[in-house]
Chains A and B, each alone.
Chain A
Amino acid sequence: MAEVAEEQEINDVDLVARTQDGDPRAFDDLVRKYSPRLYGLVYNMTSNHEDTNDLLQDIFSKAYRSIRGFKGKSSFYTWLHTIATNMTINFLKKRSRTRGLSLDDVDNGIHHDPDFIEMTSGPDARREVNLKELQTRLNEAMMKLSNEHRAVVTMFDIQGMPHAQIGKILGVSEGTVRSRLFYAHRQLQNHLQEFLIP
């Protein structure tokens, strides 16, 4: 696992150096590599596909313009995620609160997910779960969190990043990340009570 991460990092260093030398195809490779992950980050913070698409364009555009200033003090991954998180939070501060959800389809793979199976079948199945309803309720609950709490939940719970990495991206301590997570989970528990074990 660590070896894979290291290999990826070396690959990023090479792609960044080539981009800085003026090779735009190297940046395309970085866009291909990181766009699905950054899409997930922005989408789960905005709950809106169109906003995510526009923001993702802005984020890569900003990264391309700024890449000459990237000195490699952090990994490219952290640097890019920091740009994405800051731009998304700034966007959300300006966005109208009345903006509705615009959700992507749920992949059929969810039906094979052990947690989903556990929730929807077996002796302690909580309820007959309507997938669309679950998706809407999850997104509504997420949107009730503050932008900073939603960022932490997205990175930790949905994207599986470690606390230390999230701290670096947000420029806060690991303790702050943990306390934000604790508070956010408590809020989400209240909003999603009907889908949780009593």
Chain B
Amino acid sequence: MNSDVHKLLRLKRYEHPTPDYFERFIDEFHDRQRSELLRQPAWKLAWERLVDSLPDLRVPRLAYAAVGAAAVAVSALILISQQDQGLPATTLALNDPRPMVNVLPPGRGDVRLPVSSRSDFPPHYVLEARPVSYESPYSF
């Protein structure tokens, strides 16, 4: 410790506010408390009390960073796994042995879908807004 610097700094103890400052301070503090109570919404007071009642934990900033990184990693894994689940459908479509047809109008691109045979879906028609089909009805 540098004792000359220490001695010099100790002289700062002689810097004071005026003697009546602290009595005025407590009066000001009371005024402020009253006005604060009138101004603050009840939910804010309740929230502050809840936060204060929680244990005083000193969580290092690195912990927040680690939790953040873990959240990003988990999100990335979920996205990748969802994409993986989507891939077989595309592959199936590409490997589909059925004949394909372009569903877009000519000149608008090429999106091919397999042509369904009659055996895949029984034909359905709509007559006078009532659907009809070759299938036997479930109720009589």
Binding site for B on A (CB under 8 A): 28, 31-32, 35-36, 39-40, 43-44, 49, 53, 56-57, 60-61, 64-66, 68-69, 71, 73, 103-107, 109-110, 113, 115-116, 118-119, 134-135, 138-139, 142, 153, 157-159, 171, 181-182, 185-186, 188-189, 192, 195-197
Contact = CB atoms under 8 A, between A and B. Distances in A.
Given A104-B16, A104-B17, A157-B6, A31 B26 contact: yes
Most buried by A among B1, B13, B48, B52: B13
Most buried by A among B8, B45, B51: B8
B102 interface: no
Contacts of A68: 49, 52-53
A113 B2 contact: no
Given A53-B25, A61-B36, A68-B49, A105 B15 contact: yes
Contact of A60 (B11, B29, B53): B29
| Chain A contact residues: helix, strand, loop or mixed | helix
18 contacts: A32-B22, A35-B25, A53-B25, A68-B49, A69-B52, A69-B56, A71-B56, A105-B16, A106-B14, A113-B14, A115-B8, A182-B1, A185-B1, A185-B6, A186-B2, A189-B5, A196-B8, A197-B4
A7 B59 CA distance: 33
B15 A36 contact: no
Contacts of B8: 115, 119, 138, 188, 192, 195-196
Interface size range of chain B in the complex: 20 to 34
Contacts, number: 112
B9 interface: yes
| Chain B contact residues: helix, strand, loop or mixed | helix
A56 B21 CA distance: 12
A77 B116 CA distance: 82
B41 to A, nearest CB: 14
Closest 10 CB pairs of A and B: A69-B52, A157-B9, A110-B14, A185-B2, A107-B14, A115-B7, A66-B52, A104-B15, A196-B4, A185-B5
